[in-house]
Amino acid sequence: MRNERISELLAFARSLGVSDAKLLEVDRIIVEDHFRDLCEEPRCPNYNTSINCPPHSMTPARFRDHIKGFVRVLAFKFDMPMEAVQEASLREAALLLHETTAAIERRAKSLGFERACGYSSGGCKRTLCYEHADCAALQEGGQCRHRDKARPSLSGMGVNWQTLSKSLGWMMHKSEDTGDNTVMMAGLVFLE
C-alpha cells in the first residue's frame, strides 16, 4: 500500500514536468553548517529578506533534528538552460520551483503522508513578494502572503546539494536546444 502511494506521488511529480524525480532514504540528506554561512558571506541577495531564508529559517542544527522525524524524501529537479536562470528570467524559474514543491507536498498529504514537508531553492521574497517592501511573515503577528507556494530554501538550512546530486546521478549536461550547459534547480519533499 505504501509503495503504491509512493509510486503515485512519483508519477504526480513527473506529470508536473520535472526533469527527474527519485525517492531516497532520509539519511542521504547531508546538512553542513558551512553552507548556511555562505548565505551571509559572501552575502546572498536573498539573505534576511524573508522568513524562509537565513537568518530567519531553521539553522542546520535544527534542520538536522527536524528531518530525523522523517523516513524518506522525494527529490526532484528541473534541468534549465542557462538563460532561464539569468537575472531576467530567474523569478519565473524560482516560481516554478516553489509551485512544484508545494504541489508535490499537497499531493503527498492527500495520499496520506500527513506530515509531508517541502523545501525549495531560491528566496521567496524576490520571487513572490517582489512588489512588497517586506516579508509579511516577519511582521509582528503577520502571516505569509503565499502559503500555498512559498517554501524554505534548502541551501539556507545547510543542505549539501553537490553531494546529493552526485549520489543521485544528477550531473550538469548540455541542453539539446542550445548546446549550453544546463543548470539544475531542485527541491525535496520529506515523507514520514
Chain residues that interact with ligand SF4, rule: CB under 6 A: 50-52, 124-125, 128-129, 135-137, 144-146, 150
The residue (of 67 and 150) whose beta carbon lies closer to ligand SF4 is 150
Cell numbers at 112, concatenated: 496520506
CA 81 – CA 96 distance, rounded (Å): 14
Q: Give the nearest distance from C-beta 112 to ligand SF4 in angstroms.
A: 27
Closer by beta carbon to ligand SF4, 81 or else 123: 123
The strands making up 20-25's β-sheet, listed across from edge to edge, are 20-25, 72-81, 182-191, 117-119
Inter-residue contact 75 to 69 (CB < 8 Å)? no
Nearer to ligand SF4, 24 or 136 (CB): 136
Kindly state the cell numbers that stand for 13: 511529480
**Can you spell out the DSSP letters for 22-61?**
EEEEGGG--B-HHHHHHHHTTTPTTTTSSTTSTTTSPPHH
Q: State which residue, 88 or 133, has the beta carbon closest to ligand SF4.
A: 133
Sort strands 20-25 and 117-119 into parallel, antiparallel or unpaired. unpaired
* CA atoms of 124 and 102, how far apart (whole Å): 12
Instruction: Quote the least distance from Cβ 150 to ligand SF4, whole Å.
Output: 4
- Give the span between the Cα atoms of 178 and 55, in whole angstroms: 38
Taking the least distance from each CB to ligand SF4, the nearer of 4 and 131 is: 131
Q: How far is the CB of 48 from ligand SF4 (least distance, A)?
A: 11
- Closest approach of ligand SF4 to the CB of residue 86, in Å: 22
Nearest approach, Cβ of 129 to ligand SF4 (angstroms)?
A: 3
